[in-house]
Structure 1
């Protein structure tokens, strides 16, 4: 996830090395929330459930095994054996990219305990409330400037 220009100066000079250590040494190239592997194309159902090709099983948004779901090729072919569920024409595939996330949303707090390697989905779920707060704050600032100069 790119660093916002106004927050760039909160990050240390060695941020690349620190981020790399979190994502690939500590987390071993997998999301620390759901377990998705970095750099892989992952088939998913759009609700957090994804296909773990390495282990040959479906996983939920927390990385736990989901039972009673057939493999992706069976879902696409319509060989479900489950009544009432139509076959999916083509399951969505997403390339997983890990990013280092600040758990307390403070970019100047770079302790290892405060950093986590998260995939795009988990990162956006974690930061969603903070993103909405910042967007609201920017709107209020722009309105205040408009009131000041109008």
Structure 2
């Protein structure tokens, strides 16, 4: 996901090179959470289970092989294809900490699952900030 213009100054100037090093040198082109390969089409069932073509088996959302493979009828009914793209993310959501231990190479699914609580926290704070500004200028909750 591209960095928003207003957040670019939080990242180091060599971010593209740093990100590429994490995604391709350290993670070897695969998600560090689930193992999905970068740039490949991944067959998945929409609930985290995905087909690992290299190993020839289905894996769960954490990349572990499934003990019970899904039935062919289930696969045929809900299978989807998604191209996998790796992104480098901060494990602790703090863009000022740029040590190698704070970075992870995640596919888009793992990245959004990791960032979900932080996105909800920011959304909550934004809504309260907007409401407070409305109260400040328009009176309590926008009443005249």
Query: What is the TM-score of this pair, normalised by structure 1?
Result: 0.86
Who is 2:59 aligned against? 59
Paired residues for 1:106-121 under 5 Å: 106-121=94-109
Q: What SS is found at the alignment partner of 2:39?
A: coil
Who is 1:144 aligned against? 132
Query: Which digits, 9 at most, give the CA deviation of each residue in 1:13-43, with x for residues without a partner?
Result: 0000000000000000000000000011100
Who is 1:15 aligned against? 15
Per-residue deviation at 1:90? Answer: 5.1
Q: Is the 8 A contact 1:7 1:107 kept in 2?
A: no
Paired residues for 1:49-128 under 5 Å: 49-69=49-69, 75=72, 78=73, 88-89=76-77, 91-128=79-116
For residues 102 and 40 of structure 1, the distance between their equivalents in structure 2, rounded to whole angstroms, comes to: 24
For residues 120 and 62 of structure 1, the distance between their equivalents in structure 2, rounded to whole angstroms, comes to: 13
Structure-2 change in CA distance of 1:87 and 1:116 (3 Å): closer
Structure-2 change in CA distance of 1:104 and 1:142 (3 Å): same
13-22 vs 104-113, which moves further: 104-113
Who is 2:46 aligned against? 46
CA RMSD of aligned residues (A): 1.5
For residues 133 and 5 of structure 2, the distance between their equivalents in structure 1, rounded to whole angstroms, comes to: 20
For residues 119 and 61 of structure 1, the distance between their equivalents in structure 2, rounded to whole angstroms, comes to: 11
Structure 2 spans left out of the alignment, 5+ residues: 139-144
For residues 3 and 106 of structure 1, the distance between their equivalents in structure 2, rounded to whole angstroms, comes to: 14
Q: What SS is found at the alignment partner of 1:110?
A: coil
Higher helix share: 2
Who is 1:30 aligned against? 30
State the number of aligned residues: 138
Moved runs in structure 1, 4+ residues, more than 4 A?
none
Structure-2 change in CA distance of 1:133 and 1:90 (3 Å): closer
